[in-house]
Structure 1
Amino acid sequence: MRRQRHGTQGQDQKPGRARSGSGRLRLIGGRFRRRLLPVLDHPGLRPTPDRVRETLFNWLATEIDSRTRVLDLFAGTGALGLEALSRGAGEVHFVEADRQVARQIAENLTSLEVTMPVHTQKAQAFLDTRPVEPFHLVFLDPPFRQDLITDCAQRLEHEGWLNEHALIHVETEAGLIPQLPAGWHLIRETRAGDSHARLYRRESAQ
């Protein structure tokens, strides 16, 4: 589940859901399979369809293990990072600017009895810091139509955030061809409604 693309820092709103109460995020695979986690009834939040997440994690089935370090930028509800944890990732960093939304991610991690970093700051500010270690997998799913992809991709590439053969999942509005570093090679893609999801593998220039 992500934040709406028309908001300030994340992804998606569920059509037809009442504004009162909270929604639920269902993890679809791995050790937390079928766990239902609460998500805030917060402007701009909606569930990413299960089939989209399932497609992505089918692509990643042989890529995630206990050594995998994952970065979930523009985390929203943290659905992608939580799914990666469920499927065996050793470490996941969640980056979410909205304090309430970030707090809910932390509470869901606690309910799963997992301790992982939740960074309450804008993705660009987070990428201005220095990484302790590079990441093997990055979810780059910023708000639509705000021209954030290129800047974040360049920071990831040139500031030491990526492992030599890192995988980067990029989600954009349909019709947008993102301007990405030359070393990112497209290996998979799919479309669903207004979303175009692409998976890239980085090849180091060294």
Structure 2
Amino acid sequence: MRIVAGRHRGRPLSAPAGEQTRPTSALTRESVFNILTHGKFAADGDPLQGATVLDGFAGAGANGLEALSRGATHAVFMESQAAAITALRENLSALDEHANATVVHGDCLHPARASRPCEVVFLDPPYRQGMAPPALRALWSSGWIAANALVVVELMKTEDLSVPEEFAEIDTRKYGKAKVIFLRAPAG
């Protein structure tokens, strides 16, 4: 696993041992970030530049670290698995990104109140467990998702997402075994 582009391009990332964490494939991550930085979401400017991002169900932090590499100013990593947090902290040290990161040892389904909202949110819950809709609701109600934030949800290709009515689905893409759904958060 490596950073795809930006100032950390090509740098390797640690991943926790075992099968509890499933990192987003490099192809999926590269495609998602290309859409964000060069596609229709970049029509009014790159949404990552200067943004605070949330990497929910962070695992080893590949999405948040990719966002930092590409111009986000701060990333919040929310993860509940100790092995994943250990790998995440190793990655933050290897990339010297501790000053630009907050690690929250917590659950996206029952998050603590946010200290600040995030303009771009990545959610990569375990496949086939139906966690995305309740996580979206919980993160929104606890202040983690900013008004009009761009939310990127990764699911298994065969999964459906019951989008909470507050959120607007704006695009869906499929890559290998993954489906990526782009949502817009409510205006406020």
The interval holding the TM-score normalised by the smaller chain is 0.7 to 0.9
Q: Cα–Cα, structure 1 residues 189 and 114, in superposed 2: closer, same or farther, change >3 Å? A: same
Write the letter of the residue equivalent to 1:149. A
Partner residue, 1:20: none
Is residue 49 of structure 1 aligned with residue 49 of structure 2?
no
Change (3 A) 1:162 1:40: closer
> Which residue pairs with 1:120 in the alignment?
105
Residue 150 (structure 2) aligns with: 167
Q: Who is 1:74 aligned against?
A: 57
User: In the alignment, does 2:52 pair up with 1:64?
Assistant: no
Q: CA deviation at 1:41?
A: 2.5
Overall identity of the aligned pairs, in %? 33
Q: 2 CA distance for matches of 1:161 and 1:46?
A: 23
3-state DSSP class of the match of 2:151? strand
Q: RMSD in angstroms over aligned alpha carbons?
A: 1.7
Q: Deviations over 1:127-152 (max 9, x none)?
A: 2x111111101111111121211211
- Give the whole-Å Cα distance in 2 for the aligned partners of 1:89 and 1:32: 13
Aligned residue for 2:97, secondary structure, equals coil
Q: What SS does the aligned partner of 2:13 have?
A: strand
Deviation at 1:177, TM superposition (A): 2.4
Give SS of 1:187's match. strand
Amino acid at match of 1:197: V
User: Counterpart of 1:63 in 2: which secondary structure?
Assistant: coil
Query: Deviation of residue 189 (structure 1)?
Result: 1.8
Which runs of no fewer than 5 residues in structure 1 stay unpaired? 1-24
TM-score by length of 2: 0.86
4+ long deviations beyond 4 Å: none
